[in-house]
Structure 1
């Protein structure tokens, strides 16, 4: 199995540009463009840099589960967690943008039982998640975004 690109590779620079374009298209069309990736729905996750304090937005695949939204904390199979995961650990209360709607949410890591229930459903909507897990010895966490009360 091929290794993922290193964090400073041109791949991740292009990925950053594509992320900005997707975010702009998503907002301009209220999710009609940039709101799906294959079979998967996309949301815009707002988070604040744990070290920088800067506001950031990340378009991410999610799995709806009732009022909860489930995310996979993997950086394309990299052996490190993505920045948004670390930021949510530092500040779990945040907002997401769905198609034409903003929600305040609270992030938490899924329990083992939830992970067992969600993982097959996540792989069904985005098959590379299964490959990502094969790239690393660590267990990729799942993040549950619950409505903030």
Structure 2
């Protein structure tokens, strides 16, 4: 718990995002190797999302932070506040059936995009968990960061 508090403070610092973007390759490797037991380098709750590539039809895995909302897993397409949404957002939009790997278990899910007040409530839950999301919203001000609820099916 102490480490999470430390990482939350570091994650909100201006230098964090440029450095963390370079480390994401290690996070991908670690999350796959541990079958979703260690994601987001252990800094926040994480899962491994497997989508179907909208063009390739091939499975695509993405380690993501999540917030629990009832039985659903909520994820956001922040892409570190980048210009474009991450590929998994487009994949989920094209094919909402996906798989979440969490704690070594595979869970079939269906994605539904949150909107309105529900989206804002879920967004605030992400900011509360990881204050750096506030910065992502500022740097991605030209686009709306999409929020998805992954519902077990």
8 Å Cα contact 2:27/2:39 also seen in 1: no
Moved runs in structure 1, 4+ residues, more than 6 A? none
By percentage of residues, which structure has more strand?
1
SS at structure 2 position matched to 1:80: coil
The reply to whether residue 69 of structure 1 matches residue 73 of structure 2 is yes
Q: Which consecutive unaligned segments of at least 5 residues does structure 1 have?
A: 6-10
Partners of 1:101 and 1:35 in 2: CA distance: 17
1:111 shift after superposition = 1.9
Q: Corresponding residue for 2:6? A: none
Equivalent of residue 146 in structure 1, options 130, 146, 151: 151
Aligned residues: 138
SS at structure 2 position matched to 1:76: helix
1:4-83 equivalences under 5 Å are 14-15=22-23, 17-27=25-35, 31=37, 33-34=38-39, 37-38=42-43, 40-83=44-87
8 Å Cα contact 1:47/1:55 also seen in 2: yes
By percentage of residues, which structure has more helix?
2
TM-score (norm 1): 0.81
TM-score (norm 2): 0.79
8 Å Cα contact 1:22/1:59 also seen in 2: no
The reply to whether residue 116 of structure 1 matches residue 120 of structure 2 is yes
Q: Which consecutive unaligned segments of at least 5 residues does structure 2 have?
A: 1-13
8 Å Cα contact 2:39/2:47 also seen in 1: no
Q: Corresponding residue for 2:110? A: 106
